[in-house]
Structure 1
Amino acid sequence: MTRDKPLLIVIGGATASGKTQLAIELARHFGTEILSADSRQFYREMRIGNARPTEAELAAAPHHFIADRSLAEPLTAGTFAEAALPLLDRIYQDRSVAILAGGSGLYIRAVCEGLDDFPAVSEGAEARVQRLSSEEGLAGLQRELARLDPEYYATVDRQNHRRLERALRVCYTSDTAYSSFLGKPQERPFRPIYLQPLIDRESLYDRINQRVNHMLEAGLEAEVAALREERYRPVLQTVGYQEWWPYFDGTYDRDRVIELIQRNSRRYAKRQRTWFREYRPVATADEAIALIENTY
C-alpha cells in the first residue's frame, strides 16, 4: 500500500468490548463518519437484542448502516461491501480518514479485502447438507464442520445454521476445507488500520452479563415476541433472539432463556476474540490516536 491513500480505521472486537464508544471518540477527533459493520444493527425491527447505539451515541457522530432497512431487505456481506465502498469514496472526497466499526468479521473482510471465490455448489453437496441439517440439526452441523475444517470452526458463529451449512456445502463440493478459500485480499483505494478495545476476559464476560440484564429491563422479551412471525429469518436465529423461540413454544422457562443468552453471548465473544486476534488492542482513544498519527 502507498502512503497517498486515505485511511480506514477498522475497529473490531468482541461484543460489549467498547467498540461503539471508541469509534465515536475517534470520529469526533478526526472529524469523520462511522460505517457500522454489525450485521444485525442494519434492521429497524431489531433494537434491544443487538445493542444498537443509543440516540445520544448516534447524535455524537455521523453513522451509516444503523437501522436503515427492514428485515425484508437483508444485507449480505457482499451487498454490504457494494454499498459501503461508494460511501467511503464519497467520504474521502472531503476527508482523509473514515471509520468502519463492528463485530461482524466477514462484513469487515468484505469491505477491506473483498470476498473469496468459492466453487459452485454441487447438487450432491446441497442434498447432503440438507439431509444432515434435517436429521441431526445444529449439533450435527457443528460436529461435521469441526471434523472437516477445524480452523474455520474455531471462528465461525456456531449457533448460525446458515454459516455452518454454507461452509459444509463448500467442503463437500471441493473435498477440501472451506477455510482454504479464504484470505485472498483484493486491492482497495484506502489503507486500513485494524484496532480493537483492550479488555480482559473476566471484565468482558461481566459486561456481557450486565448487558443482557439491561436488555431485559429495556423490553427485550416484548421486542422478540413482536418478531415471532419473522423467526424463520437467519438474522433472528442468532444470540439474544433464538433463545426465546423455545420459551414461546413452552419448552423451557424465562430463567433458562436468560441463562442461555448470557452463556451463548460469552461463547460468541470468545469466537470473536479469535477472529480479531490480529487487531491491535488499544486501551483508550488517546492511545489509538497516538498510534494512528505516529504510524500514518
Structure 2
Amino acid sequence: MASITKKKHLVVVVGPTAVGKTDLCVQLAKHYQTDIISADSRQFFREMSVGTAKPTPEEQQGIKHYFIDSHSITEEYNAGAYEADVLQLLEELFREKDVVLMTGGSGLYVRAVLEGMDEMPEVDPTIREELTKQCETEGIQPLLEKLEKLDPLYFAQVDKANTQRVVRALEVCLSSGHPYSSYRRSEKQERPFNIIKIGLNRDRAELYSRIDQRMDLMLQQGLLDEVKGLYPYREHNALQTVGYKEIFDYLEGKYDWVEAVRLLKRNSRRYAKRQLTWFTKHPDEYTWFYPQQWEEIVGYIDEQISG
C-alpha cells in the first residue's frame, strides 16, 4: 500500500442501527463523487437481506457499495479477512479517488481497517460448536466462569452479555492453550491515508422509535420466511445475532410470536446501546453529529481534508 499517500482520505461514518447512516452516506458519496464500503458484518451475506436492513438498489441510488452481498452464508468470513480485503480495495480506489467512504455499525470490523487486527491462532471448529451448544442449553454463566479461570484479564474487560465475544475468547483459549488476551496487541497499525471519523446519533426516544418501526417493516417484508430459510445455518456466527436469534428460538418453540416480536424490538434497542458504548469508549476519536446536520458534516470533512 506504499503507493497511497496522506492526500487520500477515508471518511468513516459510524453509529447505532437505524440512525440513518445509509441515507447520509449516499448523499456524501454523491457530493464527493465516490463509493461506499460497508462495514456491517452481516450485510456481507447474500442470504441475509431483510434482517440486516440491507440497502436496496433504490436506496443505493446508483452509488457503488462494496461488501454488500459479497459472500455466502456457507462461507466463514471474519474481521481479519475483511481488513486485508478492504486495504487491497482501498489501494485500487485511491488510484482514482481522493475520498472514499466507509460506513457501518460493526465496531470490530471498523477497528480492523483503521487500526489492524490481532493475529489469532487457528481455532478448532468443534470447540466452537460445543461452546455454542453449551450456551444454548445452560446459558452464558458457565462460559463466563470458564473464561474467568482461563483468561481473567480479558474476563475483566469483556461485555458479559455478548455471547459471541465470550465464545470467541474461550475458543481461542481452548484451541491454543494460551489466554485470548495474549494475542491482543495494543499498538495501532499506521495507515498510509488520512482517516476522518464521524459518529451519528439521535435523541434516544427518536432512535428507539426508528428501531421499532424498522423491526415492524422487517416483519412486513418477510423476516420470518428469511429466517426459516436460514435455519440450517443457525450456528453461523452472523446468525447468532439480533433479528435472527429471536426467531430461531420462536421456531424452536421457546416462546410465542407476540413474545418473539417484543424481544426483537427490545434486543435491537439494547444492541444500539452497545454500539454507542463501543464507539464512545474513546470520546476524542469520533466527532458526533445528528444526521440532519448536513452543512456541519460536510464543513467538518472539508476542514479535515484541507487541514
TM score, norm. by length of structure 2: 0.83
Q: CA separation of 1:225/1:102 partners in 2, compared to 1, >3 Å: closer, same or farther?
A: same
- Equivalent position SS for 2:140: helix
Which has the larger displacement, 177-186 or 103-112? Answer: 177-186
CA contact (8 A) 1:22 1:197 kept: no
Q: CA separation of 1:208/1:159 partners in 2, compared to 1, >3 Å: closer, same or farther?
A: farther
Matched length: 289
Deviation at 1:143, TM superposition (A): 6.4
CA contact (8 A) 1:36 1:66 kept: yes
For structure 2, the residue ranges without an aligned partner over 5 or more in a row are: none
CA contact (8 A) 2:11 2:196 kept: yes
Letter in 2 for 1:290: G
Aligned match of 2:158: 153
- Cα deviation, 1:163-217, whole Å, max 9, x if unaligned, reads 2122235578555x73993542111121111111131222211111111111111
Q: CA separation of 1:169/1:204 partners in 2, compared to 1, >3 Å: closer, same or farther?
A: same
Q: Within 5 Å, give how 1:29-48 maps onto structure 2.
A: 29-48=31-50
Which has the larger displacement, 25-34 or 196-205? Answer: 196-205
Matched, 1:102 2:109: no
Aligned match of 1:18: 20
Aligned match of 2:194: 191
Letter in 2 for 1:42: F
Aligned match of 1:285: 294
CA RMSD of aligned residues (A): 3.0
2 CA distance for matches of 1:121 and 1:81? 19
1 CA distance for matches of 2:229 and 2:134? 31
Letter in 2 for 1:95: K
Deviation at 1:144, TM superposition (A): 6.1
2 CA distance for matches of 1:265 and 1:182? 31
CA contact (8 A) 1:35 1:64 kept: yes
1 CA distance for matches of 2:29 and 2:99? 9
Deviation at 1:15, TM superposition (A): 0.8
Q: Within 5 Å, give how 1:200-211 maps onto structure 2.
A: 200-211=203-214
Decide which of 58, 61, 64 is 1:59's aligned counterpart.
Answer: 61
Q: CA separation of 1:130/1:265 partners in 2, compared to 1, >3 Å: closer, same or farther?
A: closer
2 CA distance for matches of 1:92 and 1:11? 18
Q: CA separation of 1:6/1:73 partners in 2, compared to 1, >3 Å: closer, same or farther?
A: same
Amino-acid identity (%): 40
1 CA distance for matches of 2:123 and 2:251? 36
CA contact (8 A) 1:19 1:196 kept: no
Deviation at 1:140, TM superposition (A): 3.2
Q: Within 5 Å, give how 1:244-283 maps onto structure 2.
A: 244-277=247-280, 278=283, 279-283=286-290
Deviation at 1:153, TM superposition (A): 2.5
CA contact (8 A) 2:36 2:102 kept: yes
- Equivalent position SS for 2:210: helix
For structure 1, the residue ranges without an aligned partner over 5 or more in a row are: none
